[in-house]
Amino acid sequence: MIGLEIHAQLPTHSKLFCGCSTDFGREANTHVCPVCLGLPGSLPVINEQAVTFAVRAALALELTIHEKSVFVRKNYFYPDLPKGYQISQFERPYSEQGRLEFEVDGEKKTAGITRIHMEEDAGKNVHGVGGDSAVDLNRAGTPLVEIVGDPDLRSSSEAVAYMRAVREILLFIGVNDGNLEEGSFRCDANVSIRPVGQEKFGSRVELKNINSFRFVQKAIDIEIARQTKILNDGGVVKQETRGFDAERGRTYSLRSKEDAHDYRYFPDPDLPPLVLDAALIERERCTLGELPAAVRRRWVGEGLSEATAVTLTAHPGIVKFVEETRALCPAVSFSRVANFVQTEMLRGASTRGLTATFTVTAAQLGELLELGEQGKISGKQVKEVFGALEGTAKAPSEIVAERGMEVVSDTSALQLLLVELIAKNPKQAEGLKAGRQQLAGFFVGQVMKSTGGSADPNVVSELLERLLKP
């Protein structure tokens, strides 16, 4: 029985309860203030943009949003928690009861979401600093949503597919940058074993702070094997929190697992209840747009293969580029636009967080594909012009003119070339007349070579057939 707790950082410029910057990778302890340091007398103030992003996430994952929710203090004592408590939500979160559809090896699955609540992040323990451990509190107070999943997952592959689906949705609606390496998207995995025929869940073990899809799958598989061995040997699985050692391929005990009463939750006296008005919720519902699964279904319905649709919906920036390009070249089939983006464009594209960059603009690519569709340049020349366009502000037509690449479709000039070729290659000509159609490629290729690839191959084929017609 597997349930994930996904921690997703909201992409605000400032922290959840103060004005300190959330920029990643700055010098340690430079983005701190009395509020996020937990100094006496400092008072938290909620970040409105964080609340807006949190509402959007709950709507996208189909949760029920409560008009009124309460922030609480979750008390525990770690070096990276300067106040001695974390401001979170517990009994009265802002959203509950959602569901997520995802696919595993082509099979559709559904898993429930218990709730999503807002909370602040802790700081970061840094080990090995001059032989000691230190604490960097730049991250303390960064706004998070915690997405608490129901224990509906039954394998590590399902867990990874679920996690990918959540990341994809949050990325598409602009509320998380999906960066696992920087820790802005990470998860805890709760794993328990329930023998066949038993209704009661087994003891739950929490695997803490796993920040890659590969490690999530590996950690869960290792933990399932560990718990299975304990039960098969007649032992009892202890409820605890464990870490994952990727290098040694094992999980290891961190501490006994706290229950809710151990955290001594109580309402934060410095923060009033959070009240969400209906207008805010409706406004955020309207900003959601088309989610990635819906885009894939639509594109497959328009003729794309499932594999192409999956590749091109990997990032919202790629989807936007594809849609802009096809709108700019309506005469070009969607499949041709999609295939060109997949095979040529994505090689030079890069995505980082919520941004995607490309080596040409949608306007440049749209014009280029139109030139190919109109027969003004050949398919080979389309790729050649694309290479010349990358990283420039030039128009495709400008490059075509500079290089004298416009397709030769003057039938008299092409016919003269073919007559000369037939005279020089009588055996091939007789073979083609006799029905060996593969020889047509020889003549077309020779014409393309003579014209530097600028001849229209369709026109050449038609002329060749006419000249060799019995």
pLDDT (tens digit per residue) in 447-468: 778 777 667 777 778 788 878 8
Stretch 419-431: mean pLDDT, rounded? 83
Handedness of CA 201, 206, 207, 211 (dihedral sign): positive
- Is residue 367 within 8 Å of 395, Cβ to Cβ? yes
Q: Is the pLDDT of residue 189 over 90?
A: yes
CA distances from 106 to 69, 99, 109, 161, 250 (A): 38, 19, 9, 11, 30
Q: What is the pLDDT of residue 311?
A: 95
Find the mean pLDDT for residues 118-139. 90
pLDDT greater than 70 at residue 428: yes
> What does the DSSP assignment read for 124-144?
EEEEEETTEEEEE-SSTT-EE
| 381-399 pLDDT tens trace | 899 999 999 999 999 999 9
Predicted confidence at residue 470, as pLDDT, reads: 62
- Mean pLDDT, to the nearest integer, of 66-70? 96
Query: What integer pLDDT is reported at residue 32 of this predicted model?
Result: 96
- What's the confidence (pLDDT) of residue 322? 97
Of 180-189, 315-324, 405-414, 440-449, the range with the lowest mean pLDDT is: 405-414
Task: Spell out the domains of the chain, with CATH numbers in brackets.
Answer: 2-282 (no CATH), 290-402 (no CATH), 411-467 (1.10.10.410)
Nearest to 361 by CA among 316, 317, 404: 317
Which tokens sit at 375? 């027969």
Residue 409 has pLDDT above 70, yes or no: no
In the prediction, which pLDDT does 408 show? 55
pLDDT score recorded for residue 410: 55
| Radius of gyration, CA atoms only, the chain | 30
CA distance 400 to 377: 8
Q: Tokens for 83, please give them.
A: 């106040």
Average pLDDT, the chain: 91
Give the pLDDT confidence of 343-380 residue by residue, as tens digits.
999 999 999 889 999 999 999 999 999 998 988 887 88
Q: What is the pLDDT of residues 291-337, one digit of tens each?
A: 999 999 999 999 999 999 999 999 999 999 999 999 999 999 999 99
- Interhelix angle 426-433/411-424, rounded to 10 degrees, is 100
**Collapsed DSSP state (helix, strand, coil) of residue 306:** helix
91: three-class secondary structure by DSSP = coil
- Summarised one tens digit per residue, pLDDT across range 74-102 is 998 888 999 999 999 999 999 999 999 99
| H or E stretch at 256 | strand 250-256
Residue 419 has pLDDT above 70, yes or no: yes
Q: Does the pTM exceed 0.75? A: yes
* 3-class secondary-structure state, position 6: strand
Closest alpha carbon to 68 in 288, 286, 271 = 271
- Quickly list DSSP for 384-453: HHHHHHTT----HHHHHHHTT---B--HHHHHHHHHHHHHH-HHHHHHHHTT-GGGHHHHHHHHHHHTTT
Q: Residue 434's pLDDT is what?
A: 77
Can you tell me the mean pLDDT for 101-115? 93
With pLDDT > 70 as the criterion, what percentage of the chain qualifies?
97
Q: How sure is the predictor about 407, in pLDDT bands with cuts at 50, 70 and 90?
A: low
Angle at 386 between CA 381 and CA 392, to 5 degrees: 140
Predicted local confidence at residue 456, as pLDDT: 73
For the ranges 154-163, 200-209, 218-227, the lowest mean pLDDT is seen at 200-209
| Per-residue pLDDT at 224 exceeds 80 | yes
Q: Are 203 and 197 in contact (CB under 8 A)?
A: no
Instruction: State the pLDDT at residue 406.
Output: 64
* Span 198-211, average pLDDT: 87
